[in-house]
Amino acid sequence: MKKGMEAIPANWHEQIINLLGERIVVTDREGTILYINEAYCEFLGTTVEEATNRPVQEVIENTRMHIVANTGKKELAALHPINGSEMIANRYPLTVDGELVGALGTVMFRSPEEWRMYKSKIQHLVEELKYYQTKVENELKSKYSFQDLIGSSQSFLAAKKLAERISDSNSSVLLMGESGTGKELFAHSIHNQSLRSSLSFVAINCASIPEHLLESELFGYDDGAFTGAKKGQFELAHNGTLFLDEIGDMPLSMQSKLLRVLQEKEVQRVGGQKSIPVDVRIIAATHRDLEKMVEEGKFRRDLYYRLNVIKIEIPPLNKRKEDIKLISMSLLKKLERNFFRTGIAISEEVEKRLMEHSWPGNIRELENVLERAINVLDGQTIELMHLPLYLREMRSQCPNNGKRTMLETKPAQKIPLPVIPLKETLARVEKEAIQSALAVTNGNKQEAARLLAIGKTRFYEKCRLYEI
């Protein structure tokens, strides 16, 4: 019984090759076409008779078949521009009895229509890949410079000047300050003015990542630990800057692993065995009292000293109230671009009220207040009526025998308000206060509960009650 190709009649071979669904060309050692199938010729706009026995470069544009036939090196899944399209080509050297005799080339897709159909499917994926690639590259760059740090108060200028002075250093920086004071803007600015500015700036919030995922997020994971492998934030920040926000919320178990990386200057992926060297400048930030946490055993002393090489304390907004007007103007310019508006101003009464508020949420809260005002603004000037309820009806400490009294303010316009039941009014104020706190903390419910001085359980109950 015949075996192999001998069992197939010779006049079947051509049809079998065409049914394989690929375009095929065979050349000799000099690159002359010995065979080309009809499907390929149809795509090229020629015939088998016209193409055979001609140099392959004259028949197929941008071909490399003659190169493979000469070098004996195969080229797999190579991008081949042809007829205004890009096809995937495989090129194999042909060796008979140990001697290189020519080359075989195959190209997928049986018709131009088939290629166009495939291209339309893959084009979306290519565009999506480019989008996310660009997005990642942009996210790994610093977004702010020292010009974006607004303020003229002495305490703020001292912090800004120190940050500018140490930018070129490779020493670790610890940014201290309440939530919303602009610690991340300082971190971006320091990187942007450093010698590492052209390289990656990677930011990670230690409080927002579950403890069981934090290690793989920082150090990555290797084959076998999960499906595939992934670089961690340390590797992504190699030769650049790694910003560890809310470092005070990092679990003790992770603190020891972080300390080892900072000391050894190398990481080991979760599930991996190989140590990977990393050169990273660390900028850490927290609103917590790390010295107190060290004394209480909640933060490693050795890690604290490793991070606290250069400490910069960023003053809260209520300690630099002379900057409120300047910051408000800067925030309004930013918000005007978002709302496609120009020329928005603040009334004197609003300016006074902003100065009287204690700003527990700092600049983040101020931006939230101004954004809320623009959303309900009809004209060009923000009045008291445009402020959130807790600012419109704000109580302040006045020299009246130590008693707290309502601020005596005369609204620009007297608008008759309907009488609303007290229970409904209190509920509305409570809901608005919760929403404002969540906006200030970027949705962090635990931090919002802390700002409102209520327990976490009670806070969650009120969120459910008001469908927040």
Percent of the chain's residues with pLDDT above 70: 85
* Weakest-pLDDT range from 60-69, 108-117, 362-371: 108-117
pLDDT digits (tens, 9 = 90+) for 257-269: 999 999 999 999 9
| 352 has a pLDDT exceeding 50 | yes
Sheet holding 75-82, edge to edge: 33-36, 22-28, 99-108, 85-96, 75-82
Question: Which of 228-242, 299-313, 434-448 has the highest mean predicted lDDT (pLDDT)?
Answer: 299-313
Question: pLDDT: is 343 or 439 the higher one?
Answer: 343
Distances (CA, A) of 330 to 124, 189, 335, 345, 349: 39, 17, 9, 11, 19
Sorting pLDDT into bands at 50, 70 and 90, what band is 468? confident
Q: Which residue has better confidence, 356 or 447?
A: 356
Residue pointed to by tokens 């015939």: 47
- Check residue 226 and give its pLDDT: 43
Lowest mean pLDDT among 69-78, 202-211, 394-403, 426-435: 394-403
Q: How far apart are CA 387 and CA 289, in angstroms?
A: 33
Q: Compute the distance between CA of residue 130 and CA of residue 176 in angstroms, rounded to an integer.
A: 38
Give pLDDT, residue 202: 93
What confidence score (pLDDT) does residue 265 get?
Answer: 94
Q: Are 284 and 312 in contact (CB under 8 A)?
A: no
Query: What pLDDT, on a 0 to 100 scale, did the predictor assign at position 192?
Result: 94
Alpha-carbon gap, residue 180 to 202, rounded angstroms: 19
pLDDT at residue 223, rounded to an integer = 67
**Cα distance between residue 14 and residue 109, in whole Å:** 17
Name which residue leads in pLDDT, 15 or 179: 179
pLDDT for residue 95: 93
% of the chain residues with pLDDT over 90: 55
**In the structure, what pLDDT confidence band is assigned to residue 430 with cuts at 50, 70 and 90?**
confident
Indicate if the pLDDT at residue 398 is higher than 60: no
DSSP state of 317: G
Give the pLDDT of residue 406. 40
**Plot region of 62 (φ>0 → left; ψ -120 to 50 → alpha; else → beta):** left
Q: What is the mean pLDDT of residues 408-412?
A: 44
Average pLDDT, the chain: 85
Which of the residue ranges 123-127, 226-230, 294-298 would you say has the lowest mean pLDDT?
226-230
The per-residue pLDDT for range 136-182, each reduced to its tens digit, is 655 667 788 999 999 999 999 999 999 999 999 999 999 999 989 99
Res. 217: pLDDT tops 50: yes
Higher pLDDT, 190 or 42: 190
Would you state the structure tokens that stand for residue 214, as one six-digit string?
A: 């934090």
Strand pairing of 310-313 and 345-346? unpaired
With a cut of 60, say whether residue 1 has pLDDT above it.
Answer: no
Query: CA of 165: how far to CAs of 152, 179, 240, in Å?
Result: 18, 24, 18
Q: 440 or 304: which carries more pLDDT confidence?
A: 304
Q: Which one-letter DSSP state was computed for residue 181?
A: S
Q: Are 362 and 181 in contact (CB under 8 A)?
A: yes
Lowest mean pLDDT, pick from 49-58, 127-136, 175-184, 193-202: 127-136
Among 381, 363, 370, 359, residue whose Cα is nearest residue 335: 370
Is 184 strand, coil or helix? helix
**What does the pLDDT average to over 300-320?**
95
Q: Is the dihedral of CA 67, 68, 74, 79 positive or negative?
A: positive
Give the pLDDT score at 404. Answer: 42
pLDDT over 70 (residue 4): no
Structure confidence at residue 402 (pLDDT) = 40
Q: What is the mean pLDDT of residues 402-426?
A: 53
Per-residue pLDDT, 410: 44
Residue 385 has pLDDT above 70, yes or no: yes
pLDDT bracket for residue 415 (50, 70, 90): very low
Q: In this predicted model, what pLDDT tens digit does every residue of 70-127 receive, in sequence order? A: 999 999 878 788 777 677 788 999 999 989 999 999 987 544 566 667 667 677 777 7
Nearest 10 degrees: CA dihedral of 81, 82, 85, 87? -70
Beta bridge partner(s), residue 390? none
In this prediction, residue 428 carries a pLDDT of: 78
